[in-house]
Amino acid sequence: MNLYPQEEIDRINKSKETNDKLEEFFNQKREEWNNNLSPLFDVIKNKLTIENSTKVFESQATALSYRQIINEQISFFLNKRSKEEVKIKKIRQDKFVFYALGVGLKTNAGEKSTLIDAHLAENDRTILLIENYIEFLRSSSKNLEGLGYTIKNIIELMNYLGR
| 42 falls within a domain | no
Per the CB < 8 A criterion, the answer to whether 45 and 147 are in contact is no
Q: Which residue type, as a one-letter code, is found at position 137?
A: L
Helix and strand totals (H; E) in the chain = 4, 0
| 122 falls within a domain | yes
Q: Give the model confidence (pLDDT) of 7-18 as tens digits.
A: 888 989 999 999
Number of domains in the chain: 1
State the pTM of this model: 0.85
* Per-residue model confidence (pLDDT) at position 113: 86
* Per-residue model confidence (pLDDT) at position 109: 81
Q: What is the pLDDT along the chain (163 residues), one digit of tens a residue?
A: 566 778 888 989 999 999 999 999 999 999 999 999 998 888 878 777 677 778 888 888 999 999 999 999 999 999 999 999 999 999 999 888 888 887 667 778 888 888 888 889 999 999 999 999 999 999 999 999 999 898 888 888 878 877 5
Instruction: Calculate the alpha carbon distances from 71 to 10, 121, 128, 135, 140 in Å.
Output: 35, 29, 19, 12, 10
| 50 falls within a domain | no
| 111 falls within a domain | yes
Under DSSP, the state recorded for 135 is H
| 39 falls within a domain | no
Comparing C-alpha atoms, which of 133, 151, 160 is closest to residue 63? 151
* Per-residue model confidence (pLDDT) at position 108: 82
Residue 86 domain boundaries: 6-29+55-161
Rounded CA-CA distance 95/116 in Å is 6
Under DSSP, the state recorded for 47 is P
| 49 falls within a domain | no
